[in-house]
A = this chain, B = another copy of it.
Amino acid sequence: MPETTTTRTLSMQPLTREAFAPFGDVIEAAGESFPINGGMCDRFHDQARMEFTGDGRAGISVGFGRPYPLPYSFDLLERHPLGSQAFMPMTEDPFLVLVAPDEGGRPGTPIAFLTRPGQGVNYLRGVWHGVLTPLGRAVPFVIVDRIGTGNNLEEARFEAPWTVTAG
């Protein structure tokens, strides 16, 4: 069914706060700031809507993510019902960000974003998103997410894969 295949292709769009707002926060040196350290540093304050339920607390982890080639096909998204989850690269490599709106407990049509250097993301609690997908080479990411008990992972598979194109 070539027709179906065509409609299940996703182009990457630039990651902007406006477009990403329903899914989470863009973490970057942009927007309002105030000077610290005698003016040598600009602080872009408190950028993430973090939320950790139950006995959860914020933790800092590192994820060393191996790269995916483009075009990239996937049929799996996941979400974390108990907490938000932030990913900030420790290199300047752009990475792919996949999210989808919730439609009755299942992910709807995914949206693909490509980051710029200096951008990270915070997924709101319960937002459908893809796995960590650096492009080109392996990248260490700072992860700020929930440390706590309980089942904090929900996965959903699409009936047919989606493909993110390089173009």
Contacts and interface: CB of A to CB of B under 8 A. Distances in A.
B86 A88 contact: no
A41, A46, A57, A61: residue with the most chain B Cβ atoms closer than 10 Å: A41
A131 B40 contact: yes
Interface string A41-69: 11111111010000001111111111010
A158 to B, nearest CB: 16
A100 to B, nearest CB: 17
State the majority secondary structure of interface residues on A.
strand
Number of copies: 2
Interface residues of A, number: 45
Contact of A61 (B46, B65, B143): B46
Interface stretch (A6-14, A15-23, A25-33, A102-110): A25-33
Identify the 7 closest CB pairs spanning chains A and B, nearest first.
Answer: A58-B58, A37-B131, A48-B60, A29-B64, A44-B62, A46-B59, A29-B140
Interface of A: 27-29, 33, 36-38, 40-48, 50, 57-66, 68, 86, 88-92, 117-118, 120, 122, 131-132, 140, 142-144, 147
